[in-house]
A and B are shown apart, each in its own frame.
Chain A
Amino acid sequence: MNQSGTARVFSSPAIDQVGVVERAKRFTARSIKSQAKRQGLGMVLSMIDLTTLEGMDTEGKVKQLCYKAQHLHDSIDGLPNVAAVCVYPNFVGLAKRSLAGSGIKVASVATAFPSGNSSLEIKLADVSMAVSEGADEIDMVISRGRFHRGDYNFVFDEIAAVKAACGESRLKTILETGELGSLDKVRLASDIAIAAGADFIKTSTGKIQPAATMPVTLVMLEAIRDHFQKTGLMVGMKPAGGISKAKLALHYLIMVKETLGDDWLDPKWFRFGASSLANDVLMQIAKQQTGAYQAANYFAID
């Protein structure tokens, strides 16, 4: 299976795909009304990692995103800020300066994002650059090729090395579940990432379909819960990609609540990686306040 000298044995519980899908569907049957909805929508906003990860990202784009992060919709009072802005490493310094004093974190993807196909040295250099520019959080990708070959020790060691390079920055480990092929593999990758020291586990880069789904997220939440029950240590969760509607986001929060408990309903432990979710949430909040839906153009896109 692997050739490295210090073999660790990774074993994860079996996952029944049919059962997971059924359970995930059950969360969507919860009816979230009035006060619970208001509170939930506020929570969703506060948990968003507002993201731009494009080849054509520019300083202008990043600045606009940072402004939006601090001014989600100024015509509504008392809105929370988003949790973080997520950018490529070369924009970390700019984002950091733009968000200074706001309390909003800067997250940076690193480790040859999104494929992760490079040497460990280059990946660590990527991480160090982002950290030295001031990134509060590092979103790494695991080596899916090595994972599929069964080199679980390699995957573990790489995550552990990146974690060490993160220093004080929190590490989110992207499993890219859309490339893992089964929920059993999602569970195994989650367990490896958690064991290697990830502060967060994250579903997707957003570059591969399918990205986050409720069944995949449920399996990862269960890995987090099992780790907590064994060790008492909390790990965060970040579904990313594919969550663009407020209603779906609220169902994710129900899933978090019923799987992990209220302690995880906090931006410190749960995030949404999304770019278009914020505006749908804002639209719902405006509807709650005014009683009518406003047109999409009333909400700024960046």
Chain B
Amino acid sequence: MTQSHRIDGGQIDRTKTLRFTFDGLPYLGHPGDTLASALLANGVRLMGRSFKYHRPRGPISAGSEEPNAIVELRSGGRQEPNTRATVAELYDGLTANSQNRWPSLRFDAMGINDKLSTFFAAGFYYKTFMWPKSFWEKLYEPIIRRAAGLGSVTREEDPDEYDKGFLHCDLLIIGAGPTGLMAALTAGRAGKRVILADEDFRMGGRLNAETFTIGNDQGANWAAASVAELSSMPNVRLMTRTTVVGAFDHGIYSAVERVSDHLPAPAAGKPRQVLWRIYAGRAILAGGATERPIAFENNDRPGIMMAGALRAYANRWGVKVGERVAVFTNNDDGLRTAKDLQSKGVDVVAVIDSREGGELLPGIRHLQGAEVIDSSGKLGLSSITVRQTNGRSETISVNVLGVSGGWNPNVNIHSHHRSRPVYDPNIAAFVPGKDGPPGLLVAGSAAGQMSTHAALRTGRDVAIAALELNSAPDLPQAEDAPIRISPLWYVHHGKGRAWVDQQNDVTVKDVKLAKQENFTSVEHMKRYTTLGMATDQGKTSNVIGLAIMAELTGRSIPETGTTIYRPPYTPVAMGALAGRSRGREFKPFRLTPSHHWAKEQGAIFVEVGNWLRTQWVPKAGETEWRQSVDREVLATRKSVGICDVTTLGKIDIQGTDAGAFLDKVYANTFSTLAVGKCRYGLMLREDGIVFDDGTTARMGENEYVMTTTTANAVIVFRHLEFCRQCLWPEMDVQLISTTEAWAQFSVAGPNARNLLRKIVDQDISDAAFPYMGAGNITVGGLRARLFRISFSGELAYEIAVPTRYGDALLREMLAKGAEFDPILYGTEALGVMRIEKGHVAGGELNGQSPALNMGLGKMVSKKKDSIGMVLSQREGLTIEAGYRLVGVKPVDPKGKLTAGSHFLEKGAAPVAANDGGWLTSKVYSPHLGCDIALGYLKGGDRKIGQKMRIVNLLAGLDTEVEIISPHMFDPEGERLRG
């Protein structure tokens, strides 16, 4: 294909040619092109079908405000729907497809919607698909969604990576047009740390699209020279392809940098995009302005574009969109398009100027007081109908129409904290209001300062004000044309459809309907018609919509007001929001000291928070997890088992008030604990509910080591710090976590002591190291700690060494204790043994249960004050018929139990009123030869020995059970004291 619509000039590199395809057809373009400019250069202006009516559409803009030229880029896992051709940077090999059409863009069967448009007016769905109710989810919604104009999502995984990062600066400048560049020069020359971000791949903003001069040079050249100067400053960071998408609290802005979107694929290891969080001392919004259309009948045909966009395509990209051009304008800026195109040799057939009087353009048919009332052309514009001031209509053959309804300052980011823009009648547009984000100033056309001179001047002055600078650089000469505009929002003519929001297919009629149905507030109009709710956020449509509503209701535009803008400024890929947090990188892992040994053994791991704990360690021949777990339990109870308990929280508590501090945070007493002993402790919340449990050892007069559950390690530490710093700052207590500093193993079973005797240097006989003893010992001279505590109910110790020696200690215990057949058991076997013993854990520590319910009521000392003590005595928490922890086993040993099942009396109907409580934890006990469980049963302590039912309607379970003591194995505790 030839680039039939290329003309001279522009900022494209004609020495290089890029190949790309659109809907499978090959085309050529140049570096510097966007997909839209390259397609237009190839004479392609039909680029999509509209959302609802499947109308043929082409681009109307040359920027990120584009509502029509929405395409799918790339293929496979990189396929990205709903992207704007006007900002997609061309690269060699780019593949793009139109969307929302079938079977083809030129012939779209869904175009039938356009013929049936009467039925699809605003509010149509709400009124039509009301009955029957159940049909909405199953029938109506799927059909409507399929017909609606969004691209398709690839089912493949995104192969690219996304980064996040943090930047800091004195001044963030959003937009690198003349305003932003002048602000950056001012701040940069003053030595301030500046970030200048622009969504375009070339800085300069409108200077690249205009023929203005700055000083003695072309505006685009001045921009290039300014960028060169800025890039030589080490204190200035220039970020192209970077869209600032949101303003957040405390001077924080988010920005998406498209690092690799202009490449076929990111370079190896490089991210596709980076989501930056920018901390800015001050910020300047220099985001420019967006031209808005004028609504008239059939104003959406390919070839009808913004006048400024026509100029941009001609001046920046060397593209004439068509051969015969007309311009429809209500302001002077539209006339620039006519002049620029004419000077480029394009045939400007007519300028339709809705204003009366004023100077006539020389050499061009300039119709003043005229309006375009209609257009025709099947897949693109072929003619317009013009109504002249004398009322006569005339059809003019053109294939391009540039429309200018005025320029809207891009106030969006200034409104992200709900600042309402205010209407400025001088430019017939909204400008930033008060109460914008603190520290954010606005300059240039974003502030309604529309001339190039005003842009440069305000860019400089606002930078000086923002940073309180003392010197002001001289401003170069630039045009300072006044704004001359007579507002015209829509053309009053005919009964056809005049588009307001082209992306969501909202027409003037829809706005009228909203008014008719009394949705006259802008917020209601927006939601009723969906105006401005597409991915373009109504950048070209919002102001016209509300102006039409103002006119219909007889209110002024300020009275009517505007809706508010929210982040993101332009659509953001989900991948950028996720960053690195996907798949295995979703969170960091914590590995136990025994991890490497366990991995060698083929252990199965379970995620416990970020920890990977050994769940069980299969042996050869074991085909099912229960075989491994049963073996680990039996081997431990028979001889000795080792479990890595490093994950339990360990908190070092020191200070002369350490004991008194523990008395306050624990329900039971610790100040009386002898040095060299440990004790089980119960921690309550302020409301009297059990918070956490664990053992705490007194290692010295003023030194304790607390253990917490794995799950609560961090929150208990945080709680203790709160108590120390805020509740009792007068106490002499110092805290620090030592969870990771020590590798700690439980060694349990009848041969636990025999094994450890081969490891530790000290006498650990029952007399020398009795039950609940604790102390510093040595292992081959290495400092270590030993605690005689048991979770399994066996004779058990916990031994700890500095973490780097943990792996070696485990291997040493397994090797030196080989005669006792030691095994390493995982969390499943641990669970079986603790349930056999009736020890509470996660299922019982459910954040709803007081100690009394767990059978631990006596642990809450009344002799002292402690957190939660008073509220644990509340009437409702102490009633005798309250939930109590019980053990449960099926009457028939083959009977099944499941956690979460409910207790019911025999013969009682399975309804909530008869609910007796629930099973909190369930395992299979290889010792008892049946399922066993713990549960909370109403009045359970008085029901030991009774027969009840365990019912689980979801699992289809109804099992007769016996209520037994929760201490189901070795209830006398003879083994652990052995």
A binds B: no
Chain A residues at the B interface, C-beta cutoff of 8 Å: none
Chain B residues at the A interface, C-beta cutoff of 8 Å: none
